[in-house]
Amino acid sequence: MKAISEPRPDCCSDRENRSEEDKWEKRVKPRRHSIDRRAFLGKSFAAGAAIGVGLLGVDQSAGAPVEIEEDNQGGLPSGDAALLRFLAALEILEADFWIQYNELGGVQDPEVPGGSGNKPYTKAFEVLDEDMPIYIHDNTDDEITHHQFLNAYLISKGRAPANLDSFRTLMGSTATGVNPTMMGRRLTNLTQLTLDTSWWTRYRDDSHNPDLDPNHVFPQVVPTLAVNRHTAIPRTDADTTDSNFLQAIANTAAFHFPTIEQGGNSLYPALALKAKREEVMRILLSIGPTETMHFQTWSDKAGNAPPLTAVDPVTGVSVMFPDLEVDDELFNKSLIMPEPCPFLNRSLPIVSVIRPLKTRATDVLQFLMAMGLFIGQSPAFFAYMTQLAQAADHARRDGDD
What whole-number distance in Å separates Cα of residue 339 and Cα of residue 317?
Answer: 34
What whole-number distance in Å separates Cα of residue 211 and Cα of residue 323?
Answer: 30
Residue 93: pLDDT band with limits 50, 70, 90: very high
Mean pLDDT of 78-84: 98
Closest CA to 187 of 173, 172, 168: 168
Mean pLDDT of 340-345: 97
- The whole-number pLDDT of residue 75 equals 86
Over residues 5-58, the pLDDT tens digits come to: 433 434 444 444 444 444 444 443 333 333 333 333 333 333 333 323 333 333
Over residues 249-280, the pLDDT tens digits come to: 999 999 999 999 999 999 999 999 999 999 99
- The whole-number pLDDT of residue 33 equals 34
- For residues 113, 190, 125, 336, the Cα torsion angle rounded to the nearest 10 degrees is -110
Mean pLDDT of 237-247: 98
Domain boundaries defined on the chain: 14-394
Residue at 124: amino acid letter: A
How far are the Cα atoms of 77, 210, 334, 341, 353 from residue 329, in angstroms, in the given order?
Answer: 46, 18, 9, 14, 18
Residue at 286: amino acid letter: S
Q: Across the chain, how many H-helices and E-strands are there?
A: 11, 4
Q: How many residues does the structure list for the chain?
A: 401
Expressed in angstroms, the distance from the first to the final Cα of the chain is 42
Q: Which helix (H) or strand (E) holds 270?
A: helix 243-272
Over residues 162-197, the pLDDT tens digits come to: 999 999 999 999 999 999 999 999 999 999 999 999
Contact 335, 204 (CB under 8 A): yes
pLDDT at 62 over 70: no
- The whole-number pLDDT of residue 398 equals 81
Biggest alpha carbon–alpha carbon distance for the chain: 64
